Structure 1
Amino acid sequence: MNIRELARRSGVSTATVSRALNDRAEVSEATRARIRRLANELGYAPNEPARTLVRRRSDTIGLIWDSGQEAQGLHNPFLLGMLSAVRTALSEADYHLMLLTTPGTEDPDGSYLQAVRRHNLEGVIVLTTPPDDRCLQVLADSGVPCAGIDTAFTGPRTVRISSDNAAGAEAAVEHLYALGHRRIATITGPLHLPPAAERLAGYRRACQRLGLTVPPDYVTEGDFFLDSGERAARRLLSVDQPPTAIFAAGDQMAIGAMHAAADAGLAVPRDLAVIGFDNIDAAALVRPALSTVAQDQRALGEAAVAALRALLDGEAERPERTAEPHIVPTKLLVRGSSRSGG
């Protein structure tokens, strides 16, 4: 079934069929309804590449995530959850999603921009890409609408969406302090990524406000994955005055810290309290269940799509590049790994 056959059976021209299916005003409501009904009965599907050329719109949004961590990202529950949340939000807004690959060797600086132009993408959503990604900055400088989730970049039509990472970290430290802990260490994520840097800033701010001393060896860097959390916790537990509590900037690292505690003969939370960040599914399944700072992935995805649509509609152009990020609140979930009396 093609548009010519649909036009023949409808008794109208192909131009009238095209106008009806694209909700053009030149076609009466009765004719539009009749053509749409017949198209559904006959299983007619428009040729999307052709429609894109005619309408100069693809209704497709590109998605980029950390070009240096794509393989690991496939095993990162939070990133996969974020991808699902963005896909759902785009689908509800009647947009398609295209995953853009990492820059190639041929003109790597402009490869994202080339992909956007080649596929006539409406805009791009970016997940946790380092702020020094030159290829991404070329894209942002071009004026293509870009919404970054936990990504710091600037451009004439860019917007950033982020969880309240610093406040979430502060809430975790305050909870541990209220339980009586005074030696609270942290395992950070890679500090070139904005979420990791913001969570460390929140941890330090809470410790300073509460009058807690933070020795240099109480801050150790991980990579958001389980093994790095286990290694980091072993280092923390081997210092002269080991911490009695650990705040990890990611749930997988927190679970790794719990493994290290078990290997050291420590009981969680009796000997060592542990709190993570993200609220991945595994956080509720480990024993004891992991206390964590929950991010609202659905709200992040919806905020990114809404911000991108505002850019597409011309409501949010920012030539001065000074816009503040859209912040989504976090929530501390207290479970067995930090519960008093555990």
Structure 2
Amino acid sequence: MLIHENIVSGLPNRDRSDGELVLAVDSGGTKTSCTLARIGDKNQWTILGTGRALAGNPRAIGLEASARTIAESVKLAKAEAGLDSFPCHRAIFAVAGTLHEPIRHDLCRRLGEMDLAETCLVVPDLIPLVAGCGPEVSMGLIAGTGSVAIGRDPLGRYAIAGGWGPMLGDDGSGYAIGRLALRSTLQCLEMGKTAQGLVKQVCEALGAKTSLGIKAAMADVADLREAVASLAPIVLSPSHETDPLAATIIAKAAADLADMVQGLQTRLQMPKDGMVIALSGGILRAESPLMHQLGKELEARGFHAKLERIVDPVLPILNMLSQPELPSQFEILP
């Protein structure tokens, strides 16, 4: 599958003597972040403004709502920079839920019609994790509300593992961790055990003391996936380092994430030695016990990998925009 979704808008070409104004947008299942930057001499970028809006995954909220959300983040970034009336030269929109080509094409068309930039490129949100992190990075792993991994072989071809959504997968994600914590809590309460440790904190987070109370609380939430995923930080809290239940859940999540890495490594015939894996997503924070457990799990499987935490997912997008030309296509193996 070739990604080739470079849309040129009807905006007049702007003066580039002071550098290009570019938009780097990362839109996922939780939030949408936009950074307005100027690309100057030696292809270095300077951040001028940022904007944040709600989740923008078109599979979750629809194409029209996704385009509006992305446009809102752009508006806020331009307002912060004091450049409300200045159209931008180029934009990369890295959006979750756009692996399916018709969705990506339609969203790119809608964004192009909004005249956000002269040239717009929509890519799946995991592409910049490898394409924008340097040639030494051969794999990227995102674990937030959902989970997905991407690998790049020596020929520059990409392959993807995971990203199946909550019904079929999202193993190792915040949703999967929260779901295990919720199941364990319900099982404990239904067996008449005293709520303590992790179970007690899950009950407190949901404002319930019984299994019936928890089920009633979950039935009332507007977004079940987000509500379940919101329990993951409780599991990953340092206060539960010695909690056996939390340790079991974290070990399962690390193993699931390592499965995706190993699957891609086998498929793309990549060496285990010297691999650099870029990590992103809300539950793969540097201080998270999941990071430590993931490193141990990969080492146990024979990987000698360097794990690089990407603090801000917008930064790899800016790195892509700092190149003279936007990538014309990406080959993703079926």
TM-score higher than 0.5: no
| Bigger helix share | 1
| Bigger strand share | 2
- TM-score for the superposition, normalised by structure 1: 0.36
Q: Which has the higher contact order (CA 8 A, sep 6+)?
A: 2
- TM-score for the superposition, normalised by structure 2: 0.37
